[in-house]
């Protein structure tokens, strides 16, 4: 599940569903559009159901404020892009920094790059720099 508003742009469902099919799992990864008013209710429902998923624009910062438990990475950035159930609660995490560092390792050492934006992903880029 990926939650955002808008969410139709996300490539996550296609990528995750391809991996699910390749692994032969009985599962599906779906996009869920939730506006700012619905978001707290959606997060509470996910917590009650023990649902794991991802967060995309514009909710990465908001979800960090809604969850009681955050990993060190999510705390440092005050942004969540991944959540998972643990001990009856949802835990917020941020994997953007690790993903960005992996991508930067593939660039030429002196390649220039530019950060555009100020949201959750931009915070991850700044932290990685």
* Residue 50 falls inside a structural domain: yes
Q: Is residue 123 part of a domain?
A: no
Q: Which domain holds residue 79?
A: 2-94
Tell me whether residue 104 is in a domain.
no
The better pLDDT of the pair 114, 120 is held by 114
- Is residue 30, in this structure, part of any structural domain at all? yes
Give the pLDDT band of residue 113 (cuts 50, 70, 90): confident
Angle 109-117-106 (CA atoms, 0-180°, nearest 5)?
20
What are 31-76's pLDDT values in tens digits? 999 999 999 999 999 999 999 999 999 999 999 999 999 999 999 9
* 103 within some domain: no
Catalogue the E-assigned strands of 1-129. 2-4, 31-33, 53-55, 69-70, 82-86, 89-93
Q: Nearest to residue 32, comparing CAs of 60, 3, 9?
A: 3
- Residue 126 resides in a domain: no
How many helices (H) and strands (E) the chain has is answered by 6, 6
pLDDT for residue 125 is more than 90: no
User: Is 84 within the bounds of a domain?
Assistant: yes
* Average pLDDT value over all residues in the chain: 91
The residues annotated with a catalytic role in the active site are 60
CA dihedral 39, 45, 50, 56 (to 10 degrees): -20
Tokens of residue 121, six digits: 């992903």
Check residues 103 and 129 and name the one with the higher pLDDT. Answer: 103
* Domain at 52, CATH number: 3.40.50.10860
CB 62 within 8 A of CB 36: yes
Q: Coil, helix or strand for 13? A: helix
């Amino acid at each position: 599940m990926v939650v955002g508003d808008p969410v139709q742009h996300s490539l996550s469902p296609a990528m995750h569903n391809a991996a699910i099919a390749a692994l032969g799992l009985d599962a599906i990864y779906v996009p869920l559009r939730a506006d700012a008013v619905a978001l707290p209710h959606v997060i509470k429902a996910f917590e009650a159901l023990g649902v794991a998923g991802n967060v995309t624009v514009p909710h990465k910062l908001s979800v960090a404020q809604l969850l009681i438990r955050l990993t060190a990475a999510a705390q440092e950035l005050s942004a969540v892009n991944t959540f998972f159930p643990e001990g009856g609660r949802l835990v917020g995490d941020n994997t953007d920094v690790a993903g960005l560092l992996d991508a930067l390792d593939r660039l030429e050492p002196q390649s220039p790059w530019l950060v555009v934006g100020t949201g959750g992903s931009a915070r991850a880029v700044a932290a990685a720099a």
